[in-house]
Structure 1
Amino acid sequence: MRLNILKPLVILIIALGWSLSLCGQNLERAKELYKAGKFAEAKPIFKENIRKNPSNSSLNQWYGVCLFETGDYKDSEKYLKYAASRNILESFRYLGDLYYREYRFEEALEQYNKYLEHLMKKKMNTVEADMRIKNAERAAQMLRRVEEVQIIDSLIVDKADFFKHYKLSPESGTLHDYNTFFNTSSKNNSTVYQNQRGDKIVYGAKTAKSGYDIMTRSRLIDDNWGEEVVLPAPVNSSANQNYPYLLSDGTTLYFASTGEESLGGYDIFVTRLNLNSGNYLVPENIGMPFNSLYNDYMLAIDELNNVGWFVSDRFQPEDKLVIYLFIPNIEKKIYRGGDETRARSLARIDAIKDSWVKGANYKPILEKIYRIGNVGEENMQKGDFMFPVNNRITYTTLEDFDSKEARNLFIKAQDIRKLIRETEDKLQQLRKEYASAQDKKGIGQQILKLEQSLLNLYGQPEELDARSRAEEIAYLIKLQNQKKNK
């Protein structure tokens, strides 16, 4: 009788031991997968083990990391916080990374500082923690100064030829693929910007260390490109510098860099050439929302149409980019609403509609921009142009002007633009004739004269546009005040 009772008990004990052994083997397998970075495979095993032992701090750490590494950020926080409460070292780093990714930079700093404190107590290397703290501090400062920018459209495109979707007006220059422009098979992942006059290019080119630096060349009288000139520090550095764009003033340079002041990968910077000293000013990170924790680059501004573009690989597959079309602010407009959730949304560009000005109509701007390069000038309506008066008002015909003085200034600017184009065409023709001309001296003198004439003309349309804009705004304010006083 006793043997009949003991037999099932023995079987139960053996089965339980076998189950515990199997569970232990599975856990060891999960640890191996974890160490190998195979988090998706390790995750279900840790999940099963933590269900049976929810208070195990190591299991919470391992499972939380697996959730984080497989993109399940929301659920990972619970397990990482529990592990951190038990002082599991790596949980502080991962919690910091989680908050950093979610733009909760102050919370990220708190966790990174705890991580640093524990490393110092254990007398371990703190370089990695110091770097994370520095990045989080910089990101937190950027978030506090996130710019309110009207992002009026976005487009997901192939990474290989994204620049073809930039619809720049002829007055703003042109963008080219490096390998096509220089007819090379070097496979440079860079672009070439050529100015409106066609006599200067800036581009990113591979260095001897397989990084990228920004170079420039000028066109010679014989129509060939001159010697390559490397832009000096502080533009180029030991980091990668690429994707330059030069404004029409010839001194303001936008470019992307992976340097110390970048948040993640490439960030967009701006610098200016000091014409008196010939040196560039220290580049400035243009901040959020243009820059993010991902790669952001190739900012270009069409000053004639008052629109800009930049690209980012934030939240995109490896072979895709998103292009953002925006309206540049005349002066930087910092968000000061005090709502941190709103600030994060603006910085991440969660929804472009959130950046739109109430009552603004962007359709005419979009239609104008996306016609560029698709139809010839001859097919456009006479007088069809885009003249932004401010962030809410854009004129498209001369009849839109209320101020006669502003209208005349705008017409004068357009006339000078036409003269510039005609002079450039004539200059281009003379340069071609120069190569095979017998009387090079005579043609050379004509070229120099036209070049000097262009130097005098450049900048005048932009100055007249600014005066026209100011005059129109002043007149509109005057009319508004008159209506109020009636």
Structure 2
Amino acid sequence: MICFSKVLREVMIKYLSTFLFWLLVVVMGNFSSVLAQESVYTPKKGLEYIKNEDFKNAQLVYAHLLKKYPKDAAYNYYMGICLLNNKGDLSQAVKMLNFAQIKRVSNKVSYYLGRAHQLSFRFEEAIHNYEKFLKSKSSDSEKNEKANYYLEQCRDSRRISTKIYELSVLDRSSVPREDILEMYSPAKDVGRFYKNGDFFESGVNPNHILFETERGDVVYFSMAQSSEDTMSIYKIQKLLDGWGDSEIVGEPVSSAYNDAYPFMASDGLTFYFASDRPGGFGGFDIYKVYYDNEMQGFLDPINMGVPFNSPEDDFLFVSDEFNEVAWFSSNRETTGDTVMVYKVKWDGSQVRNMVDDPIQIIESARLKLDSDQSDEYGNGRRSRTNKGERDESKKQGLFRFDINDTLQYVDFDNFLNPEALSLFKAGYMMDQQRDSLAFLMKSRRADFERVSNESDRNKIVNEILNLENRVYKLDDQIQEKYLLSRQKELNEIQDRIKQGNYEGLGGRSDESTTLNFDGVFVPEKYSFHISDEFERHYAKRADMYKSLFSENDIASLRYADSLYVWANILNLESACLLEHSTQVQDSEPMKLGNILKKEDSLGDDEVGKTAQMMKESKELKILSNRIYHKALDKKYPIYYLKLKDISRNLNDANSKNILVLSQQGNAYFREAKGILNGPEGLNFESYESWYHKKSWC
């Protein structure tokens, strides 16, 4: 028994010793691992990674350090830089950099904050921080240069992003850049895309992307010009015996910067490409440009704006009108050689609309799937996700188009007449072209101010004059499209009302709401005027109206005439009141200064009565001018369109004379608008004087 206990004890000691040995090994191993980890996650190692721009490893270091020291300002500063460069949580980066700025870690914090806000589409905050950094007079020349560069981008971005698209994102996929075409699947009738290497044997970068039209007769591609490193867009056309020589797609598509990723839409007139030219958000931006058949050349490119473009690279926009979708790519959310391909709904209803809330810009730029709209920016606003809310957003307005004084369209679906819709869309597209030209004109005027060389200034002046002519020409075309659209839509509404099957935007038939031209309220005391004067005025024009205009147009013209008669009546009453108020017996009108002197000799009751009469006279004068304006506003479009229509059916000489009259009327109309919307504000006296000189009614 004693012997057995001794053996058992020795065995237990042996096993216990072995257990303790291995336990010690494990403990020491873990301890060594901790020591090794601590040796990697050190401030020194983090700075080393930052210096070498290895931001992924640096982020691991500072994530570890911040667990221990969350309030350390320097660690917050470097973590913010890592998140910024790794395309991480930008809202978190801003918080950390703000904390570092409060603690005054470095004057470079403002630079990084500027970049974080810029990438978050918060351009006002970005501008503020870049300006703050530049005022600090940092010795870092590279960052000073970049800050100035980014600052200009933010100013351009702030301007461009006042109009945005609100897109429905159907899909988003992260892929290696070399596999990008696998994510695009347009219909065959759209055309085909290839890698350059699959089409050309040599002479071009084999990895760049080219586009072949649906007929297979034209190929657009990009390559570097022989004398420069920048990419330019070229095309080659198919001849009877093979392909012709390549030719560069000229200005304004071509620039001194990189232009690539060409795509011609199915209409053969709308061309998309990407460029890193100045005036955009930064990096490659997607541009749209229209081909003008009349000029046999492209108009000025239009930056596609938010959310298509960002401060990073955005490129290869492709639309498929047959399936009502579009694709484009961006590296705004990715790093390295990976890009994100977005597939969006693109059915013709997407238009750029004005925004006055920066949060709308941020939400639009996030490009989240419709089924995954979450509030990631911590802005306290919930994204619109359900159909009802999106429909409500649509009601708020893709655009604003007045059909008459009480009916305003805000969506393409509001139109009843297909031809009216087509005309409006054409005008809307021209409106975007005009915006692009107007911006270019503004930038050239700024160039004129900066340039001192006389020869260069003369050249710029000629460019500005040419741009002005093009803008005015587009103004006329846009106005005509809108006027025709409005006229056809009103005729459609009036015809439906007569047939008893018109339903207004609210889903009910209501002629008084829809077609009652925003009546001008005339004081009741002046309603005693008999209708003889109106009838005499109508009779003067009755035969002319009947021979030239439709029944609907005649109704509108008679309404305009009635306004004009009312304006004359009230204008006369105004003059009578002013004359009575001054108690002047002779026919010469008195000036205001003399009237005031006259009041000095009157009693209190008479002064009060005089002041009241003068006040009423002024009110009637203003009211009569308002009515004059409304009469012109109603009559001008009908006359203008009729003149244009008549000129098309006459011989060359008569047609030219009619066209001159039409252009003269257009100039008068613009002049009136200028008086009404002048820099000094509305001046009714100037407007009335102008109106009677022109005698439009």
TM-score bracket, shorter-length normalisation: 0.5 to 0.7
* Larger-Rg structure: 2
Confirm or deny: 8 A CA contact 2:272 2:288 kept in the other structure. yes
Confirm or deny: 8 A CA contact 2:169 2:368 kept in the other structure. no
Q: 1:130-141 alignment to 2 at 5 Å?
A: 130-141=148-159
Look up the match of 1:97: 115
Q: Tell me, what secondary structure is at the counterpart of 2:508?
A: helix
More displaced 10-residue stretch of structure 1: 172-181 or 41-50: 41-50
Please, which of 215, 234, 239 is the counterpart of residue 234 of structure 2? 215
Q: CA–CA distance in 1 between the matches of 2:50 and 2:140?
A: 23
Structure 1 residues 40 and 156: alpha-carbon distance in aligned structure 2, compared to 1, 3 A threshold: closer
Structure 1 residues 313 and 57: alpha-carbon distance in aligned structure 2, compared to 1, 3 A threshold: closer
Q: CA–CA distance in 2 between the matches of 1:52 and 1:164?
A: 45
Structure 1 residues 218 and 60: alpha-carbon distance in aligned structure 2, compared to 1, 3 A threshold: closer
Over the matched positions of the two proteins, sequence identity in percent amounts to 24
Q: CA–CA distance in 2 between the matches of 1:76 and 1:129?
A: 18
Deviations 1:3-55 (A, max 9, x none): xxxxxxxxxxxxxxxxxxx99x9655554443333455556776788899888
Tell me which amino acid in the other structure corresponds to 1:212.
M
Tell me which amino acid in the other structure corresponds to 1:273.
Y
1:325 aligns with 2:344: yes
Confirm or deny: 8 A CA contact 2:330 2:339 kept in the other structure. no
Q: Tell me, what secondary structure is at the counterpart of 1:484?
A: coil
Q: Tell me, what secondary structure is at the counterpart of 2:292?
A: coil
Look up the match of 1:108: 126
Look up the match of 1:334: 353
Deviation of the 1:356 alpha carbon: 7.6
Look up the match of 2:81: 65
Q: CA–CA distance in 2 between the matches of 1:28 and 1:302?
A: 53
Tell me which amino acid in the other structure corresponds to 1:85.
I
Please, which of 61, 84, 107 is the counterpart of residue 101 of structure 2? 84
Confirm or deny: 8 A CA contact 2:168 2:369 kept in the other structure. no
Q: CA–CA distance in 2 between the matches of 1:143 and 1:270?
A: 16
1:484 aligns with 2:484: no
Structure 1 residues 235 and 242: alpha-carbon distance in aligned structure 2, compared to 1, 3 A threshold: same
Structure 1 residues 207 and 51: alpha-carbon distance in aligned structure 2, compared to 1, 3 A threshold: same
More displaced 10-residue stretch of structure 1: 239-248 or 75-84: 75-84
Deviation of the 1:134 alpha carbon: 1.2
Look up the match of 1:445: none
Confirm or deny: 8 A CA contact 1:143 1:347 kept in the other structure. no
Look up the match of 2:387: 358
Q: Tell me, what secondary structure is at the counterpart of 1:205?
A: strand
Q: 1:373-388 alignment to 2 at 5 Å?
A: none
Structure 1 residues 480 and 152: alpha-carbon distance in aligned structure 2, compared to 1, 3 A threshold: farther
Q: CA–CA distance in 2 between the matches of 1:294 and 1:63?
A: 21
1:309 aligns with 2:305: no
Please, which of 50, 69, 80 is the counterpart of residue 34 of structure 1? 50
Confirm or deny: 8 A CA contact 1:119 1:125 kept in the other structure. no
Tell me which amino acid in the other structure corresponds to 1:358.
K
Deviation of the 1:271 alpha carbon: 1.5
Look up the match of 2:274: 256
Q: Number of residues paired by the alignment?
A: 364
Look up the match of 1:174: 192
Q: CA–CA distance in 2 between the matches of 1:47 and 1:196?
A: 52
Look up the match of 1:241: 259
Look up the match of 1:462: none
Confirm or deny: 8 A CA contact 2:321 2:346 kept in the other structure. no
Q: CA–CA distance in 2 between the matches of 1:356 and 1:78?
A: 27
Long gaps (5+) in structure 1:
1-21, 362-389, 394-401, 407-466
For normalisation by structure 1, the TM-score amounts to 0.61
Q: Tell me, what secondary structure is at the counterpart of 1:322?
A: strand
Deviation of the 1:195 alpha carbon: 2.3
Confirm or deny: 8 A CA contact 2:62 2:78 kept in the other structure. yes
Q: Tell me, what secondary structure is at the counterpart of 1:89?
A: coil
Look up the match of 1:424: none
Deviations 1:411-464 (A, max 9, x none): xxxxxxxxxxxxxxxxxxxxxxxxxxxxxxxxxxxxxxxxxxxxxxxxxxxxxx
Structure 1 residues 136 and 220: alpha-carbon distance in aligned structure 2, compared to 1, 3 A threshold: same
Deviation of the 1:268 alpha carbon: 0.5
Q: CA–CA distance in 2 between the matches of 1:234 and 1:342?
A: 31
1:232 aligns with 2:250: yes
Q: CA–CA distance in 1 between the matches of 2:191 and 2:325?
A: 14
Q: Tell me, what secondary structure is at the counterpart of 1:162?
A: helix
1:149 aligns with 2:167: yes
Q: CA–CA distance in 1 between the matches of 2:329 and 2:56?
A: 31
Q: Tell me, what secondary structure is at the counterpart of 2:94?
A: helix
For normalisation by structure 2, the TM-score amounts to 0.45
Answer 1 or 2: higher relative contact order, Cα 8 Å, separation at least 6: 1
Tell me which amino acid in the other structure corresponds to 1:287.
G
Confirm or deny: 8 A CA contact 1:360 1:392 kept in the other structure. no
Deviation of the 1:122 alpha carbon: 9.8
Deviation of the 1:162 alpha carbon: 3.1
Please, which of 288, 310, 313 is the counterpart of residue 292 of structure 1? 310
Tell me which amino acid in the other structure corresponds to 1:34.
I
Deviations 1:71-103 (A, max 9, x none): 354444344224323552111101112222222
Q: Tell me, what secondary structure is at the counterpart of 2:108?
A: helix
Q: CA–CA distance in 1 between the matches of 2:245 and 2:343?
A: 34
Confirm or deny: 8 A CA contact 2:169 2:369 kept in the other structure. no
Q: CA–CA distance in 1 between the matches of 2:170 and 2:182?
A: 19
Q: Tell me, what secondary structure is at the counterpart of 2:222?
A: strand
More displaced 10-residue stretch of structure 1: 351-360 or 77-86: 351-360
Structure 1 residues 256 and 30: alpha-carbon distance in aligned structure 2, compared to 1, 3 A threshold: closer
Confirm or deny: 8 A CA contact 2:370 2:385 kept in the other structure. yes
Q: Tell me, what secondary structure is at the counterpart of 2:352?
A: coil
Confirm or deny: 8 A CA contact 1:96 1:107 kept in the other structure. yes
Long gaps (5+) in structure 2:
1-37, 374-383, 391-410, 420-484, 511-697
Q: CA–CA distance in 1 between the matches of 2:352 and 2:92?
A: 36
Deviation of the 1:129 alpha carbon: 1.7
